[in-house]
């Protein structure tokens, strides 16, 4: 009789633990999906969303959110890769810096940013960003408004702890299609040129 009661007690505790765990997960998920927010990037680990003129990255399992500094939800670009987030931003304190031309890549759980290279001033507006699971990244840059001398091209980190290099060909009659930048697989990113050709580059 006593043994049976103990078993029932253990089963009740286990069921309660599962219930509490599910409730905690549901609550964390709710924190990452606040009312009125707009999804900017998402995967199984995190969600980037815009709310109230700011952009945040939120860990789905814990509900822990972080403000993405100086990013504007409707104008900047965002990407997730593993536990890393990349985004473009502006510098309101410096009128010489083009809007949406700064790239930052951050490890989400501990907010680590390699401050030797980021924030990285690209000098052209960011069109798209790709980030992979070890923090390597690539981005497509478009010409500044009114600039008819510069074409879209792709930059990125092909060497660890090294500033970004240009990946795409510099052909004025065959520019990169900025929106075509994507992860091909593994550590390789790819893009298309206006003429139909394709380019690829392995990140570090």
Q: Which residue blocks in the chain are alpha helix, DSSP H? A: 2-31
84, 108 in Cβ contact below 8 A? Answer: yes
Q: What is the mean pLDDT of the chain?
A: 89
Give pLDDT, residue 171. Answer: 84
**3-state secondary structure (DSSP) of residue 69:** coil
| pLDDT of 7 higher than 90 | no
Average pLDDT value for residue range 139-157: 93
Average pLDDT value for residue range 129-153: 94
First and final CA of the chain: distance in angstroms? 64
Q: Work out the pLDDT band at 20, boundaries 50, 70, 90.
A: very low
**3-state secondary structure (DSSP) of residue 9:** helix
How many Cβ atoms from other residues are within 10 Å of residue 138's Cβ?
A: 30
Average pLDDT value for residue range 92-119: 96
Share of the chain above pLDDT 90, in %: 79
pLDDT top residue among 75 and 10: 75
| pLDDT of 28 higher than 70 | no
| pLDDT of 13 higher than 80 | no
| pLDDT of 1 higher than 80 | no
Give pLDDT, residue 17. Answer: 45
34, 21 in Cβ contact below 8 A? Answer: no
Give pLDDT, residue 9. Answer: 55
Give pLDDT, residue 146. Answer: 86
Q: What DSSP string runs through 103-125?
A: EEEEETTTTB--TTT-SEE-SS-
């Amino acid at each position: 009789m006593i043994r049976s009661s103990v078993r029932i007690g253990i089963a009740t505790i286990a069921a309660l633990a599962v219930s509490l765990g599910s409730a905690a997960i549901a609550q964390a998920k709710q924190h990452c999906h606040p009312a009125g927010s707009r999804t900017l990037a998402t995967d199984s680990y995190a969600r980037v969303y815009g709310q109230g003129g700011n952009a945040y990255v939120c860990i789905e399992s814990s509900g822990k959110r972080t403000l993405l500094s100086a990013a504007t939800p409707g104008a900047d670009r965002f990407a997730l890769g593993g536990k890393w987030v990349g985004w473009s931003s502006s510098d309101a304190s410096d009128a010489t810096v083009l809007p949406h031309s700064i790239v930052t890549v951050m490890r989400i759980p501990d907010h680590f940013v390699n401050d030797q290279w980021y924030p990285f001033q690209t000098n052209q507006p960011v069109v798209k960003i790709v980030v992979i699971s070890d923090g390597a990244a690539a981005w497509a840059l478009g010409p500044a408004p009114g600039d008819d001398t510069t074409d879209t091209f792709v930059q990125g980190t092909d060497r660890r702890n090294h500033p970004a290099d240009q990946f795409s060909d510099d052909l004025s009659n065959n520019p990169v299609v900025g929106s075509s930048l994507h992860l091909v697989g593994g550590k390789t990113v790819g893009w298309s040129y206006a003429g139909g050709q394709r380019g690829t580059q392995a990140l570090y």
